[in-house]
Amino acid sequence: MVRTISLGLVGAVVTAWFAMGLFSQFQRQMVFPGPEGVTEPLLHDVAAQVGATELRIPTDDGETLYGWHRAAIWSGPRRVVLYFHGNASSLVAQLELQNLLLSEGWDFVGIHYRGYPGSTGLPSEPGLHKDAMAAWNWVTNELGIEPDHVVIHGRSLGGGVAVQLAAHVNPGALVLESTFTSIVDLAKEHYRWLPVGRVLEHRFMTRDFADRLSCPLLVAHGASDSIIDVHHGKELARLFRADQYIEVPRVDHNDMLLVGLIATRYLDFLESVVPAAQQ
């Protein structure tokens, strides 16, 4: 009996270490899976259909990012939403949100992270933060938008990108949609039987920036989110002392959150930070 228990314990330890090795080896693919079925020809076709200007933005470490600029018809100084997508998403997945913003006088600028369709390189946490800064520099320098007329919007993984950028550049406002407190926290919830905190390379410690953010903040989360549980959104709203927290019943992670019943609340927040009266 003792021998059986000992062998079982050894087997469990070996299995756990093997699983940890696989987790460590494949975590890039797990954190940055990329969008399925999105190709450069598709991006070109859709950009032409919606009237998006295709961007090629250089980063300070030699990569080139693919992106879109969609300009609203607006007579006064531009207002821009700089958007960072989720880890399995792309620009073509957010057309409804883009159209909503354009209809209310907001330009849309979005990029694909390094390693994603149209962009060079391999994704990593440090790399994505460089990508975000390159996108910000394009908006404020090449497009010539005043920082307080730029709202940074990050969804899911993009929230982890957006919050660190906002902490460094102080935009007009920040929107965190369906975002985690950190990937470490999220991984521990999904892989409770593994000590994943020890091997995670891409950690995105969003919650650690709570004391470094000074711009207005909106946090939005679906109450039925099965990938990033709603408690992450609640905790971010608490830690960051969010100006607004929106929780939407019966909305899962991949459902459209801010273009449905609460679109008006999203737009009202944008209007409160960069009002049209300034135009």
pLDDT average, residue stretch 36-60: 98
Q: Provide the mean pLDDT of the chain.
A: 89
Identity of the amino acid at 9: L
pLDDT at 20 over 60: no
**Alpha carbon 168 to chain centroid, angstroms:** 16
What secondary structure letter does DSSP report for 210? G
Bigger pLDDT: 12 vs 266:
266
Residue 279's pLDDT is 42
Provide the β-strand partners of residue 65.
Answer: 57
Residue 25's pLDDT is 53
Residue 194's pLDDT is 66
Residue 28's pLDDT is 80
pLDDT average, residue stretch 86-96: 96
Residue 190's pLDDT is 75
pLDDT average, residue stretch 40-61: 98
pLDDT at 19 over 50: no
Q: 215-236: per-residue pLDDT in tens?
A: 999 999 999 999 999 999 999 9
Bigger pLDDT: 4 vs 122:
122
Bigger pLDDT: 65 vs 203:
65
Which of 66-80, 97-111, 141-155, 204-218 is the least confident region? 66-80
C-alpha to C-alpha distance for 274 and 144, rounded to whole angstroms = 16
Residue 47's pLDDT is 98
C-alpha to C-alpha distance for 185 and 204, rounded to whole angstroms = 10
Residue 52's pLDDT is 98
Provide the β-strand partners of residue 175.
Answer: 153, 218
Q: 98-152: per-residue pLDDT in tens?
A: 999 999 999 999 999 999 999 999 999 999 999 999 999 999 999 999 999 999 9
pLDDT average, residue stretch 185-205: 78
Query: Domains of the chain by range and CATH?
Result: 2-278 (3.40.50.1820)
Confidence at 195, pLDDT banded by 50, 70, 90: low
C-alpha to C-alpha distance for 186 and 55, rounded to whole angstroms = 33
pLDDT average, residue stretch 244-251: 96
Q: What is the DSSP string of 110-170?
A: EEPPTTSTT--S---HHHHHHHHHHHHHIIIIIS---GGGEEEEEETHHHHHHHHHHHHH-
Which of 127-141, 169-183, 199-213 is the least confident region? 199-213
Nearest to 199 by CA among 18, 12, 21, 16: 21
